[in-house]
Structure 1
């Protein structure tokens, strides 16, 4: 039988033709007691082991490794297997479907419901590192954050959602990130900008990862800057006197987007 014709076939293979390719985390008692039941009921693995071909008459387990461990403990000479292709995608889904690997969600694009169910799983796990985290608060704050631009999970520690630096690594079990490039806005002439232009530019600056303006209230800052006599400003310093949350330590952050040019 050719290699291609074997793909997807149920085949009876000798145990000595198969290697585990990893370890099973199942307790020894469960393996040995299941092996005893298997021998007592005819010694046939009705649920097949998923393998891929790694050489001539050589195979490696990529799914249902528990069944392989049980068959080995039971002393079976041959086991029923399904031969899969060698792609990483096939190995990944085989491990997920056999319960050996936890599926991960892309936090950059996840829906609110996906974030909620993943967090709930982590919070409710025995010995969870996220015990005490309020599910609704964490879900809402992560969902509303500019996570599409995150390069790591550290920004979550600044959301005041109960997930601190000591807990953030627990998220890696169910989440991964595929960050998008931060879109660049055209610079805005603050001397003549409309209220909408000011708001869009401030929103961009506030939502940037590691923004110096994180705590600035967008609506208040927009209104106070829009209402100020900015057409006469020679620098951005007057903004520090508007009581809009942008003090002297933060004013330089505005220069990324805003400039002044009096057109009169």
Structure 2
């Protein structure tokens, strides 16, 4: 393979000793027109081809493939080349520096400015799928999101930034991910938790591999749970009645991150939210204590109406 003495050197190599590698997708017109100009100006490629040695006196193009194609079209016998090493990293950077490969940035760790520059490149491309996306909005939403844990780009479609499922694959051209493991949070007391604590715990569950809560709308679930009378819950079953997508099949998953320290239910409750969260049996028991006549034949809606009207 290539001698260390040759690496980095400019060498004048016979063109028939060089394999084109991946070649170039440059239109034939540009190749032939440039080849004609090259011949008219002395036939010397002042910009060298980047090659690596693949055998004794055998080389392969890893950068500036367009120049090699032009040299072939011009009928040159020899071409000026720089000898590179055989590493994948060298081939990758050679293609990037010669404009044959788009550089990618790590979205898991990228700065806000890096995210903005990459998105701007995509938005401004001809026939871009991201044409209608507002750059400041999408930049801020992605920058503020917990992207260090993302395993793919799908969470972006839930940020409300204009990048839908149909558009998200366009991001793969400029971004890649190196996700960190999601740290397991300490259990949160759902009886007293803040809205932010509830949301963070739910997000952990939703983003876990094989999560039963994958399709849950986190904003909706957070709001419904936060507004519910959870201070009096003895278990997590009332969540299944909040209309937030967490069914009886899914509710047990919440035990991984939540626990309860319920307070005793007051004897007199007039708050409709609390009353609506109670069972008919509990409402009738309360109505009995309040000596409401005919309570045994009342439906839930009627019991809530009667109990909420007590002064």
Give unmatched runs, 5+ long, in structure 1: none
Q: Report the TM-score, using the length of structure 2 for normalisation.
A: 0.72
Name the residue aligned to 1:98.
98
Name the residue aligned to 2:133.
133
Name the residue aligned to 2:76.
76
Aligned residue pairs total 255
Distance 1:211 1:148, change over 3 A: farther
Deviation at 1:157, TM superposition (A): 1.8
The C-alpha deviation readout for 1:205-250, integer Å capped at 9, x for no partner, is: 236434735114869966x57x9635xx421345678x8x867647
Of the three residues 215, 222, 233, the one matched with 2:219 is: 215
Deviation at 1:177, TM superposition (A): 1.1
Name the residue aligned to 1:206.
203
Contact 2:231–2:262, Cα closer than 8 Å, also in 1: no
Contact 1:213–1:253, Cα closer than 8 Å, also in 2: no
Deviation at 1:149, TM superposition (A): 1.4
Deviation at 1:106, TM superposition (A): 1.0
Give unmatched runs, 5+ long, in structure 2: 208-213, 265-311
Q: What is the SS of the residue equivalent to 1:142?
A: helix
Deviation at 1:252, TM superposition (A): 4.6
- Write out aligned runs for 1:112-191 (5 A): 112-190=112-190
Contact 1:34–1:70, Cα closer than 8 Å, also in 2: yes
The C-alpha deviation readout for 1:118-171, integer Å capped at 9, x for no partner, is: 111111101112121121222122222222111111222222222222211111
Distance 2:110 2:187 in 1: 31
Distance 2:149 2:47 in 1: 43
Contact 1:237–1:248, Cα closer than 8 Å, also in 2: no
Whose RCO is larger (CA < 8 A, sep 6+)?
1
Distance 1:262 1:132, change over 3 A: closer
Distance 2:105 2:111 in 1: 10
Distance 1:12 1:165, change over 3 A: same
Distance 1:158 1:262 in 2: 33
- Give the RMSD, CA atoms, in angstroms: 2.9
Q: Report the TM-score, using the length of structure 1 for normalisation.
A: 0.84
Distance 1:247 1:259 in 2: 20
Structure showing greater radius of gyration is 2
Deviation at 1:204, TM superposition (A): 3.3
Distance 1:54 1:218 in 2: 59
